Each structure stands twice: as C-alpha cells, then as structure tokens.
C-alpha cells in the first residue's frame, strides 16, 4: 500500500528553521543562508502556520525556542544529517561500495577458497553485507536462476547448466574418512580396491549427479562395487555417521584439515574421485553493483 503525504512546507523551510534554531539570531541565520532577513522571517512564519504552533519566542533582544521548537530541532538534526550524506551514500551504492551480496556455498568451498575470497572482499568493501547460505549444487543452480543468490560456489556438472556462467576455482582428489577402529585405519595410504567390503555414506545423487557418478566410476575402475550404507547431506552429517562407526565417506585433503580423534583421513593411490569447485552466476540476471564487485574480485583472485 502506497501512502501519500502532503505538506504545506518544504525542505527550504526546515533548513531555514534549523539555521535560526542553531544561532538563535535571525540576521545571522539569514546571512548564513544567503537570503534576506525578511524572506527568512516569512519562511519561519509559513512553517509555524503550517505546523499550527509557534516555534520561536521572540523579543526585541532575544530569540528562544519554544517547547515545540525544541522538539522539531531534535528531530531535524538526524534527518538533515542524513540528507547531507545522501549524495555520498548514493554514489557509494552506484559504485558497488554498499549494499548486500547473497552467496551460496558447499562445504568444499568453505574449506578451501571461500574464506580467502570473503576476507579480501571485506577488506576492499567493508560496507557491503555478505549473506551466506550453505546448500548443495542443485539447490544453488535453482537459486541462481530464481535470483535468490547472486553467486554460488558449487560442484560443476558434466554439462554447464543453461544460463549459468562458471569459473573453475579448484580440482582436488578425494581420500577416504574412516573410523579410527577400521581395520585399514592404520595404513598411511589406501587403494580404493581395498574398500570393497566397507560400507560408505554418500550424499543423495540428485544433489550433485556429476560428483556422485565420478565416485561410482572410480570404484568400477578399482574393481569394486561401492556398498552404500546411507545417503545424507550436509557433509557434517556424513562425518557424524563415520564417527558413529556406520561407514566411511569420501573427503578431500582440504576438508580433512581438522578432524576429531575418533576418525582418520587416508589418501588414495590409484583411481580416486575428483572434487571440482566453480564459482557460478546467472547470465540473464541484472547484477547489482555489490554483486558485480564481488564477481570481479572472484575473477581477479582466480587469475592471480
């Protein structure tokens, strides 16, 4: 619902009142404003008439604010200050220096490239608020197309999704995460073929079909059929099931930097599924200046 307000005074009347209220002197206020004193007096009289109350108590020797004048003066200070800052703030909005950017990410992104990007962006654009939401690849693609996020960090599909531009940021082979009690946990490196009898915890295929299929292809090349005990998301839940001793899961070395003592990470020699990470954004969307600034930073960091 659009509300319409009509006033019998304008900003000129308010700034004139503010000058007199600060100086409590009509002649000096008129000089400060660069207008004649009679014109200033008429503006104040007009404002008082429009508001229906006296704002100043005048004598031949002094000018004082009335109670209503004090109230108006207190309310005008932040308002006029905000109006004075408005050109600078609007220029900052237009230049992409303030506003918000909405980012989707996967666990791999947060474990690798995303903290560096966020830190650099905060240093160069401290007034832009970044909204972060963890979601799987398929959900990020939908969110990009619907305009719910400005940029996503996700695992790419074999074929680029229509209408989405991507920039590759990372490729990293996976190892396996095992309970410390697993018979193979004492080995420093494993071959995927040794894990044919080990149940695995994966994610639902529809969340990231490309990576899911690379896992199965690696297992076939290693001569095993993967035993899938459960499918769950996000990654933290899969790690929890490994800690419970219900299976193993695939994870990159970057994601395995800090692990609790009841699970171990082991790299794989031979066939192993590869995790890939891209930054993606919608080609058809009209990107806001803050989003454009963020995407520019992502591209520059990648090139460096």
Given a cut of 80, whether residue 272 has pLDDT beyond it is yes
3-state secondary structure of 301: helix
Tally Cβ neighbours within 10 Å of residue 271: 17
- Which of 77, 94, 111 is at the close of a domain? 94
Are 27 and 45 contained in the same domain?
A: yes
Residue 1 domain-assigned (yes or no): no
Give the range among 71-75, 154-158, 271-275 with minimum mean pLDDT. 154-158
The DSSP line for 38-56 is HHHHHHHHHHHHHHTS--E
Residue 212 domain-assigned (yes or no): yes
- Which of 94, 114, 144 is at the close of a domain? 94
Are 77 and 38 contained in the same domain?
A: yes
Given a cut of 90, whether residue 98 has pLDDT beyond it is no
Query: Does a cis peptide bond (omega within 30 degrees of 0) precede residue 234?
Result: yes
Are 257 and 284 contained in the same domain?
A: no
The angle, 0 to 180 degrees and rounded to 10, between the axes of the packed helices 11-23 and 26-33 is 130
Are 266 and 179 contained in the same domain?
A: yes
The pLDDT value recorded for residue 257 is: 87
- Residue 30's domain comprises 11-94
Contact 106, 153 (CB under 8 A): yes
Are 58 and 119 contained in the same domain?
A: no
Are 114 and 34 contained in the same domain?
A: no
The pLDDT value recorded for residue 115 is: 95
Number of folded domains in the chain?
A: 3
Give me the helices (H) in 65-208, please.
67-94, 107-111, 114-124, 137-146
Contact 203, 228 (CB under 8 A): no
Contact 270, 193 (CB under 8 A): yes
Are 65 and 46 contained in the same domain?
A: yes
Main-chain phi, psi angles of 254, to 5 degrees: -65, -40
Main-chain phi, psi angles of 205, to 5 degrees: -60, -35
CA-to-CA distance for 48 and 55, rounded, in angstroms?
6
Are 179 and 251 contained in the same domain?
A: yes
User: Between 96 and 173, where is the model more confident?
Assistant: 173
Q: What is the pTM of this model?
A: 0.69
pLDDT range class, residue 61, cuts 50, 70, 90: confident
Residue 79 domain-assigned (yes or no): yes
- CATH code: domain of residue 164: 3.40.190.10
Are 283 and 166 contained in the same domain?
A: yes
Are 212 and 86 contained in the same domain?
A: no
Distances (CA, A) of 220 to 216, 217, 225, 271, 273: 6, 5, 6, 9, 11
- CATH code: domain of residue 38: 1.10.10.10
The pLDDT value recorded for residue 3 is: 46
Helices then strands, each counted (H, E), the chain:
10, 14
The pLDDT value recorded for residue 96 is: 66
């Amino acid at each position: 619902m659009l509300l319409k307000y009509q006033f019998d005074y304008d900003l000129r009347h308010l700034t004139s009142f503010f000058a007199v209220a600060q100086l409590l002197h009509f002649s000096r206020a008129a000089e400060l404003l660069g207008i004649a004193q009679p014109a200033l007096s008429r503006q104040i009289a007009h404002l008082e008439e429009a508001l229906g109350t006296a704002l100043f108590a005048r004598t031949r020797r002094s000018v004082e604010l009335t109670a209503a004048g004090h109230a108006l003066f207190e309310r005008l200070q932040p308002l006029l200050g905000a109006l004075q800052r408005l050109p600078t703030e609007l220029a900052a909005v237009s230049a992409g220096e303030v506003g918000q950017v909405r980012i989707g990410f996967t666990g791999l992104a947060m474990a690798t490239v995303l903290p560096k990007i966020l830190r650099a962006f905060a240093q160069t654009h401290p007034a832009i608020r970044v909204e972060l939401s963890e979601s799987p690849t398929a959900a990020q693609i939908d969110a990009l197309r619907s305009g719910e996020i400005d940029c996503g960090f996700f695992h790419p599909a074999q074929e680029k999704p229509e209408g989405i531009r991507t920039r590759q940021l990372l490729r990293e082979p996976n190892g396996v995460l095992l309970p410390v009690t697993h018979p193979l946990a004492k080995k420093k490196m494993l071959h995927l073929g040794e894990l044919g009898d080990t149940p695995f915890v994966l994610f639902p295929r529809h969340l990231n079909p490309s990576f899911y299929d690379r896992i199965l292809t690696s297992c076939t090349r290693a001569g095993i059929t993967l035993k899938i005990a459960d499918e769950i998301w996000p990654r933290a839940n899969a790690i929890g099931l490994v800690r419970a001793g219900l299976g193993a899961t695939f994870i990159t070395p970057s994601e395995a930097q800090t692990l609790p003592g009841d699970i171990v990470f082991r790299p794989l020699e031979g066939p192993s599924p590869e995790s890939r990470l891209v930054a993606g954004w919608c080609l058809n969307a009209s990107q806001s200046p803050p989003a454009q600034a963020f995407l520019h930073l992502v591209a520059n960091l990648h090139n460096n």
